[in-house]
Amino acid sequence: MIQTRPRTRWVIQMSLMTVMCAVFGVWGWYDYSVKIPMDELGYQKLVAFTNVKSGLEAQANGETNALQTAVQGVQAARQELTASMTEAEVEQLKSVRQEMESQFKAELQRAREEGLVSVEFNYTAELGTVAKARLRWSLEIDRLAAGLLAVGQGRWARGSDAFANFVEGVSAGITAYQKFPVPNKWNRMVQWLFILCGPYAVVAGLQLIGGLRKKYSVDEEGNFHHPQGSWGADEINDIDMSRWMSKSVAKIVHADGRTVKVDDYVHQDADQIIGAIAHRMRPEEWTDHAKAVEPNSTSEEADIPSDTPEQD
């Protein structure tokens, strides 16, 4: 009996294709939904902290409207934060802020009064990485605006602890987010190239599983066994070899018109099965090794001159 088995080369190729496409898909999705938003948020923070520091330094040098410019920068950061979210994400942020402000009202008020820009709270809401970062940044924006207001109104003297805490928090923010570059508008679009690899990983995986499960064989009586069943030798009506030489693919044709495709690229020893059936069906065209029969070359007889003279 001749029986096929998946080619090792094809199994390795499809396995690598499945894994690589899955990795690229997950990588692209992570960058699109987590890394890029976090990078954009980091740059927004860098710009806002830099504007606040510049405003404080300009006010110390006696420049008028310096704090007003810094406040406008903080307001711009708030608008950018809102613009970067969908309507659902904006509503979620509002809901979580209301819950958190009711739960940590005293702590938030104390942070504003003491000039603490960055404060950690033991808040256990089930939020994703980006949502938590946006929540924290929205609260920091409030404290930056409140701190600038306190400085402008003279409630924080430059030698006070609250002012020192505020300046230290702004400087720490610049140091923490100075590594974030200006966001590139093409970043998200490029990630779609990787995300689209994800669905192909499913396709390649299904092809791999299907190829591993499929087996074809021909027994001594010429019966053809395939994943859909078995056909007797007398039930096989024809074999389509039109794509065999170019694609290594042939179709076995049943008497009722049904066909089964056999791919030699996927299954080892498929050429022996195809050869056995093709040679039996068309012995003048195909060998039992699935090779096309070369036409016999005919030689023309050469004229041999006669040595005997012609007789009248």
The pTM is what? 0.75
Question: What pLDDT, on a 0 to 100 scale, did the predictor assign at position 124?
Answer: 63
Does residue 230 lie in a domain region? yes
**Co-location of 109 and 253 in the same domain:** no
Task: Assess whether 164 and 20 both reside in one domain.
Answer: yes
Same domain assignment for residues 166 and 234: no
Q: Are residues 153 and 107 in the same domain?
A: yes
Q: Are residues 29 and 108 in the same domain?
A: yes
Does one domain contain both 107 and 235?
no
Same domain (yes/no): 104, 247: no
Determine, yes or no, domain membership for 286: no
CB-based burial, 215-242: b 16+ in 10 Å, e otherwise: ebbbeeeebbbbeeeebeeeebebbebe
Tell me, yes or no, whether 48 and 184 share the same domain: yes
- Domain of 161 in residue numbering reads as 8-193
Does residue 200 sit within a domain?
Answer: no
pLDDT tens sequence for the chain (312 residues): 899 999 999 999 999 999 999 999 999 999 999 999 999 999 999 999 999 999 999 988 888 888 899 999 999 999 999 998 888 888 888 888 888 878 788 888 888 888 888 877 776 667 888 988 998 899 899 999 999 999 988 889 888 999 999 999 999 999 999 999 999 989 999 999 999 999 999 999 999 999 999 999 999 999 999 999 999 999 999 999 999 999 999 999 999 999 999 999 999 999 999 999 999 999 999 999 999 998 763 334 444 454 444 444
| Domain-embedded: residue 268 | yes
Identify whether residues 60 and 109 lie together within a single domain.
Answer: yes
- ∠ CA(47), CA(49), CA(50), 5° rounding? 60
- The verdict on residue 203 lying in a domain is no
Residue 132 lies in a domain: yes
Residues 182 and 227 placed together within one structural domain of the fold = no
Q: What's residue 244's pLDDT?
A: 95
Q: For position 125, what pLDDT does the model report?
A: 67
Residue 72 shares a structural domain with residue 104: yes
Residues 118 and 174 in one domain: yes
Domain total in the chain? 2
- Do 274 and 4 touch, CB atoms closer than 8 A? no
